[in-house]
């Protein structure tokens, strides 16, 4: 059976976007509130968020979560947002308040850091009506009690061992929704999908790298025009 033709509509101003690797479409995806999500871009850069073909964005960052950051990202995004709400330094009632705020602003899910204590997981799961995502950094990350507390999805980010960790938890939990980092190559992404990941996070080039490439193109256009 031949693949169905998919019409592609864009404009001259919107064709230059950050595209996630095509291979990510081979994963099963995770259906959340009727939306099928396969590719998740890992960034808090609003310009990139507004110019990508990823199905969703995971907005976690190495600072204390703040409502102003969450609000800005959700308002700018035209795709679903998984919002980081802490769990490492930010625990207890503040993580719960951040989760409530993220839901009220339109997040499709909230993400807790790997070291989040069980008490905070319980509190967050008790107050939100969107999926709680728990980050996993190694095969030794305890997730059993967190799943019982209400965590719906795990987000595996284990560096070079991600594929191994995905396979480990897939064997333990055959039906558990798993998001995982895919790595830098198509081969590493394929390996993570085959290990059992349902959705893949993709780290895009930085704003500086993208701008550098565009400036190179501008300089080449000017050179050609000059020579002509």
Q: State pLDDT tens for residues 69-105.
A: 999 999 999 999 999 998 876 777 899 999 999 999 9
Convert the pLDDT of each residue in 164-180 to its tens digit.
999 999 999 999 999 99
Measure the CA–CA gap between 113 and 49, rounded to whole angstroms.
Answer: 22
**Is the pLDDT higher at 8 or at 167?**
167
Q: Residue 4: which pLDDT band, with cuts at 50, 70 and 90? A: confident
Least Cα distance to 181 among 137, 227, 214 occurs for 137
- Tokens encoding 194: 């085959």
**Is the pLDDT higher at 138 or at 1?**
138
pLDDT at position 215, please? 78
CATH number of the CATH domain containing 129: 3.20.20.60
Q: Does some domain include residue 113?
A: yes
Q: How much of the chain, in percent, has pLDDT values that exceed 90?
A: 75
Q: Does some domain include residue 118?
A: yes
Least Cα distance to 183 among 158, 206, 153 occurs for 158
Query: Does 127 have pLDDT greater than 60?
Result: yes
What predicted TM-score, i.e. pTM, was given to this entire model?
0.90
Angle at 21 between CA 20 and CA 27, to 5 degrees: 100
Q: Does some domain include residue 7?
A: no
Q: How much of the chain, in percent, has pLDDT values that exceed 70?
A: 93
Query: Does 216 have pLDDT greater than 90?
Result: no
Least Cα distance to 196 among 175, 225, 218 occurs for 175
Q: Does some domain include residue 103?
A: yes
pLDDT at position 18, please? 92
pLDDT at position 228, please? 63
Q: Does some domain include residue 99?
A: yes
**Is the pLDDT higher at 228 or at 108?**
108
Measure the CA–CA gap between 173 and 204, rounded to whole angstroms.
Answer: 30
Count of structural domains, the chain: 1
Query: Does 22 have pLDDT greater than 70?
Result: yes
Q: Does some domain include residue 13?
A: no
Query: Does 61 have pLDDT greater than 70?
Result: yes
Measure the CA–CA gap between 126 and 121, rounded to whole angstroms.
Answer: 8
Q: Does some domain include residue 8?
A: no
| Cα-Cα-Cα-Cα dihedral sign, residues 35, 11, 6, 183 | negative
The residues near 181 (Cβ < 8 Å, ≥ 6 apart) are: 42, 156, 157, 158, 162, 192, 200, 201, 203
Mean pLDDT, rounded, of the chain? 91
Q: Does some domain include residue 218?
A: yes
Measure the CA–CA gap between 72 and 8, rounded to whole angstroms.
Answer: 29
* Structural domain span for residue 65: 22-227
Mean pLDDT over residues 126-140, rounded? 96
pLDDT at position 220, please? 65
The residues near 203 (Cβ < 8 Å, ≥ 6 apart) are: 41, 42, 43, 181
Least Cα distance to 28 among 148, 228, 184, 196 occurs for 196
Query: Does 210 have pLDDT greater than 90?
Result: no
């Amino acid at each position: 059976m031949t693949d169905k033709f998919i019409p592609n509509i864009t404009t001259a101003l919107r064709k230059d976007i950050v595209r996630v690797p095509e291979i990510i479409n081979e994963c099963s995806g995770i259906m959340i509130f009727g939306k099928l999500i396969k590719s998740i871009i890992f960034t808090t850069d609003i310009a990139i968020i507004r110019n990508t073909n990823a199905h969703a964005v995971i907005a976690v960052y190495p600072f204390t979560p703040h409502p102003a950051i969450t609000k800005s990202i959700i308002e700018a995004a035209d795709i679903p947002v998984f919002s980081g709400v802490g769990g490492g330094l930010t625990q207890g009632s503040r993580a719960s308040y951040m989760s409530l705020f993220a839901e009220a602003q339109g997040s499709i899910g909230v993400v807790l850091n790997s070291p989040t204590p069980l008490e905070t997981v319980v509190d967050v799961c008790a107050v939100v009506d969107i999926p709680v995502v728990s980050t996993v950094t190694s095969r030794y990350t305890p997730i059993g009690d967190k799943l019982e507390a209400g965590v719906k999805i795990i987000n595996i980010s284990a560096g070079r061992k991600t594929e191994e960790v995905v396979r480990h938890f897939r064997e333990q939990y055959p039906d558990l929704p798993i998001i995982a980092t895919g790595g830098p190559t198509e081969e590493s992404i394929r390996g993570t999908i085959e290990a059992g990941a349902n959705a893949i996070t993709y780290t895009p080039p930085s704003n500086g790298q993208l701008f550098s490439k565009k400036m190179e193109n501008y300089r080449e256009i000017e050179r050609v025009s000059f020579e002509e």
